[in-house]
Structures are given as structure tokens and as C-alpha cells.
Amino acid sequence: MTATDPILQLEDLTLRYGSLTAVDSVTLDVERGARHALIGPNGAGKSSLFSVIAGRIRATHGTIRLDGHDITRVGEARRSRLGLVRTFQHSSLFLGMSVLDNVRVAVERSTGSPIRPWPSPRRDRRLRERAMELLETTGLADRHAALCGALSHGERRQAEVAMVLACDPSLILFDEPTAGMSAAETNLFAGLVESLPRSMSVVVVEHDLDVVFRLAERVSVLASGALIADGDPETVRNDDAVQEAYLGRSHGTDLFGVAS
């Protein structure tokens, strides 16, 4: 694949539960190095689409390609090893362990380091140093000894990002990352995402449209499981179908509450 090829390609992706269609024939490309947002009203199918992309749920129909390779039938763990990593709406940390130990476990798993019946000081030092580097990156180095259960909601998100980065991902799926955050925590998290290297492509499902339009260079909109708009933020913001999906009307007040 060349640098200009999409990192992720969805073709006619569909997910059905009996007569209910949760994802309806979605065809979409995510460009390499993208900052891409997926938005839509409640029940639009955003999290279902994320689950299919991540491999947590198998698609009923369609194709998923990561870096040009068909991963449609590849399991979730294998997709993670291939560079596709997802965070969830709710924290998935070991709350009784320290921040450092949580990240250290992620580093250990990502490197495939075997479990040893005897200590290896050199290996342990290397894992700890890498974990601390990631905590520096995510702004949690000074909290490395704290139990994850003692962290604020925003700090838990920072720890999760450190664990994601331990996997050296090429594509990160953030599922409603700022839900429940204060304004200050949201601003800090958005800055963290902005600081990620362009070697990591980002797709974010987010209800906070201020965050969406701060981070995203491209926005895709789902409604009733179908893709109804896709383009740059300004184009999507002014799209009548998007206005209708969010506000129940095509004219009047836009997504920012400004009269149109």
C-alpha cells in the first residue's frame, strides 16, 4: 500500500439482527493519518458499526479492509495485533492495580513477552521504562503510582490512551471518549488526540459536536444505520439531511445553535 491509500475501507457493510438493520450498506474510506469523526443521533448505529469494524461483532454482509488486507472474517484479537485498536464508552482498567502496572501489562501483551517462572530484571526494567514513556506522553507520569480506581474519569481515559498506544496502533477507534468528562477534562483529552502522530489514524464517535469540529478533518454521519453524509466539517454542518436527522427540520437553527 502507498501513503495515499486508505488505511480502512468499508464496502457495503451491513449488520442485521433478524428484521432489524443496525448498519445499512455502509461504504466508507478512512484515509491514512486521518482525523475522522462518525456522528449521528442516538440509535443511528455508530457503536454497532464500530463493533463490526473492531471485530467484536461479525458483519452480516460486506467487506472490511485494513491497510489493503481483507479482515472481514478476522477476529478481534487478531485485528488488534494488525494495528486496529478500539476504546470503549466505559473504562476497561484494572482498578485495583496502579496506573503504571496497567500500562505495563499492556506493553507486555503488545510485545508478546512470554510469562517467565523466574524474574528478569533487564526485561522488567525495559517494560517499566516503556510504560513510563507512554504515561509521559499522555500526561499521567506523576500519577503512575496511584491506583486506577482513585483516578478521575478524565484521568482514566488518559490511562486508556496510554494502553492503546502500547499496542503501536495504525488505526484507533475512540468510542464516545469524552462522555461524562468535565469541560477541562474534555479539553485535555482533545489536546491529547491532537498530539498523536500522523502515523496513527483516528476515527472518533462523539456526541460533543464542539469536540467533533475541533478534531475532525472529515465527518461521516449515520442515521438509522445508513450513511447520509460524508465530507469536510463545514459541508456536513450545512447539509440539510444532517440538519433533519439531528433537529427534525432542514432549516432554522444549525448544529451550533446559530440561525441559518
Q: Is the pLDDT of residue 255 over 70?
A: no
Using pLDDT thresholds of 50, 70 and 90, give the confidence band for residue 230.
very high
Q: What is the pLDDT of residue 89?
A: 59
> Of 111, 139, 167, which residue sits at a domain end?
167
Backbone φ, ψ for residue 48 (5° rounding): -65, -45
Greater confidence (200 vs 120) lies with 200
70 and 153 in a single domain? The answer is: no
Residue 7 CA to its chain's centroid (Å): 14
152 and 252 in a single domain? The answer is: no
Domain annotation covers residue 88? no
174 and 256 in a single domain? The answer is: yes
The total number of structural domains in the chain stands at: 2
77 and 186 in a single domain? The answer is: yes
CB 240 within 8 A of CB 250: yes
Q: What is the pLDDT of residue 180?
A: 87
Backbone φ, ψ for residue 162 (5° rounding): -60, -40
Percentage of residues in the chain having pLDDT higher than 90 = 70
26 and 45 in a single domain? The answer is: yes
156 and 177 in a single domain? The answer is: no
Dist CA 72 CA 157 (whole Å): 29
- Work out the average pLDDT over 31-60: 95
- Work out the average pLDDT over 146-167: 92
Q: What is the pLDDT of residue 125?
A: 87
Using pLDDT thresholds of 50, 70 and 90, give the confidence band for residue 91.
low
111 and 205 in a single domain? The answer is: no
> Of 132, 167, 202, which residue sits at a domain end?
167
75 and 55 in a single domain? The answer is: yes
173 and 244 in a single domain? The answer is: yes
181 and 260 in a single domain? The answer is: yes
Residues with Cβ within 8 Å of residue 208, at least 6 apart in sequence = 178, 186
Q: Is the pLDDT of residue 172 over 60?
A: yes
Model confidence pLDDT, tens digit, residues 93-121: 889 999 999 999 989 887 665 555 555 67
Domain annotation covers residue 136? yes
Domain annotation covers residue 89? no
195 and 260 in a single domain? The answer is: yes
CB 22 within 8 A of CB 224: no
Full residue range of the structural domain in which residue 206 is found = 1-83+169-260
Q: Which amino acid is at 124?
A: D
> Of 167, 183, 204, which residue sits at a domain end?
167
- Work out the average pLDDT over 192-197: 93
11 and 75 in a single domain? The answer is: yes
Question: CATH number of the domain that 67 lies in?
Answer: 3.40.50.300
